[in-house]
Structure 1
Amino acid sequence: MNEEAANPSGKSKRKRMRKITHIVIHCTATVSGREFSTKDIDLWHKKRGWKGIGYHYVIKLDGTIEQGRPEYKIGAHVKGHNRNSIGIVYVGGLNKRLSPKDTRNRKQKRALKSLLLNLKEKYPQAEILGHRDFSRDINKNGIIEPFEFIKACPCFDAQKEYCDL
């Protein structure tokens, strides 16, 4: 079912419903304990030449979930897979030495799980993956192994952690 939306000119236009096949988890690749907001990420992405924040949701250090792009808009978070995915990013992902690490705290984990449950209710067929799970299977053995990851993001095995949702 389509929803109506008003554009800046006051005329209504149709929002296109997207078929969501993946919910993709990311990290901001920032040092543990340093807070960033949707506005910060929006600025980073605009500096890269994008129209704005590429993620649909941001999970802050205190567990607050901020809206990024509206769900009906195609994100900019996994090259080649944006059309049919929802992107979620948690703040963190690096240790003090700038190495990849799962830095999610209890509040972020709780918020992420709650958001995933809500999204799975809306998109029951969608698979939950981490950004790294979109890497190529270089040795073609059917498994994307750590040496094949193009990125460590989100710095934990999202597919395994959320396989029961």
Structure 2
Amino acid sequence: MSANDIKYLVLHCSASRCNEDYSVEQLRRDHKARGFYDIGYHFYIRKDGTMTQHRMLLEVGAHARPYNRCSIGICYEGGLDEQGKPCNTMTTEQETRLIDLFRNLKILFPKAKIVGHRDLPGTTPKECPCLDAVSWAAHHHLD
């Protein structure tokens, strides 16, 4: 995969409840149980804003088949309210970190579009990332 191949910066949520922790270790275990060799996202952002990288930027991810070869996957912890319903649960710390990450990625991949997993046709139907990523990016002048 080359920098020219990157067409999308795909936002995901972990589909975990806002009042529960979903650690990197849990994410790794769940992804390995799905047959991935490790976490499929390139980046994971915890509720406190801590960000970890799990794939090299130009390494093919495992997060939005059939778009894995032309995208970078970013996941924020959360996406479900306390009752388990889809909801934008992003904390201020997550949002700050995500804005900074997207700004840096847009420097590297200026033609890439910021989208949510649910915005990609042909992927498994989901609510993910439980917010309108395209409008969110426009609101923050990231598009």
Please identify the structure whose Cα radius of gyration is greater.
1
For 1:17, give the aligned amino acid: S
Please tell me whether the aligned partners of residues 37 and 58 of structure 1 are also in contact (alpha carbons under 8 angstroms): no
Query: Please, which of 110, 113, 125 is the counterpart of residue 150 of structure 1?
Result: 125
| 5+ long unaligned stretches in structure 1 | 1-15, 137-148
Residue 28 of structure 1 pairs with residue 3 of structure 2: no
Q: Is the 8 A contact 1:57 1:66 kept in 2?
A: yes
- The TM-score normalised by the length of structure 1 is 0.79
Asked if residue 98 in structure 1 is aligned to residue 84 in structure 2, the reply is yes
- Is 1:130 equivalent to 2:105 in the alignment? no
3-state SS, counterpart of residue 68 of structure 2: coil
Aligned length, in residue pairs = 138
Q: Where does structure 2 lack aligned partners over 5 or more consecutive residues?
A: none
Is residue 77 from structure 1 mapped to residue 52 from structure 2 by the alignment? no
Displacement, 1:49? 1.1
The list of structure 1 runs, each at least 4 consecutive aligned residues, that deviate by more than 4 angstroms after superposition, is none
CA deviation profile, 1:95-128 (whole Å, cap 9, x unmatched): 1111100000111111111100010011001000
Task: Tell me which of 130, 133, 137 is aligned to 1:162.
Answer: 137
Query: TM-score under structure 2 normalisation?
Result: 0.90
Higher relative contact order, chain-length normalized (CA < 8 Å, sep 6+): 2
> Take 1:63 and 1:22, find their aligned partners in 2: how far apart are those partners?
22
Q: Indicate the structure with greater helix content.
A: 2
